[in-house]
Amino acid sequence: MNKFVFNGIDVEHICKPKIKNSYISITKDAKVILKTPKVSKTFINTLLESKEDWIKKQLVKINSNPPIKVNLEYEVLLFGEIYLINNSEVQELKESLERVRIKTFTNISKCYDNFYKKKSETYLTNRLEYFSKKMLQSYNKVIYKKLKSRWGSCSSKRVITLNTQLLKLEKELIDYVVVHELAHLVYMNHSKEFHNLVEFYLPNSKLLRKKIKESYLK
């Protein structure tokens, strides 16, 4: 990994000769990561120049809306609020943590991930069933898994995937993602008709869409 500064922006460059394209990503901690095959310095500078405005805009957004941090083993983020680990709402997580023999970050994180997945299978399933009946839409399958780059997805085979990390968001934002994915059963795009359908069931969808874009995967 090579670290350098481009026009005041700290960049971490990772060279992967086997990849075909170049990618720029920004982490929740406001780190700019550049992944490329073996390319020249001129190519890198040209690429960064073309994306400079976008990078700075994303950095401002992240720094003005930092992700909520919790103290592992003592707190948990659920529905946009921080709960103490001894709260009855998160009893399963507390019991899971108590069973961990070796307290490593990986083992503790697994407890949190398992908690969110199990919670998703009940809470998200209920919200999905509620809105699917309301919207008169049926899906073939739902998958709950931890995703790194999106809150949810809907395939042409009518399979809906929801990110278990949704449980960290406010309930109204969770509903937005659920309705958003169900709307894709009708429109597999983000056309005006698609957004009108979402807005029909969530009149404040424009505000929710703005808020979800400002919420970062944690």
Distance of CA 136 to the CA centre of its chain: 27
- Is the full-model pTM beyond 0.75? no
pLDDT tens-digit map of 21-67 = 998 998 877 889 999 999 999 999 999 999 999 999 888 877 766 66
Q: Any idea where the domains of the chain sit in the sequence? A: 2-64, 75-213
Q: Could you tell me which residues come within 8 angstroms of residue 36 by beta carbon, excluding any fewer than 6 positions away?
A: 13, 14, 15, 16, 19, 22, 23, 43, 44, 47
pLDDT at res. 216: 59
Place 149 in a pLDDT band, splitting at 50, 70 and 90.
confident
| Mean pLDDT, residues 70-74 taken together | 82
pLDDT in tens, 82-124: 999 999 989 999 999 999 988 899 999 999 999 999 999 999 9
Mean pLDDT along residues 69-80: 87
75-213: CATH number: 3.30.2010.10
Residues shown for the chain: 218
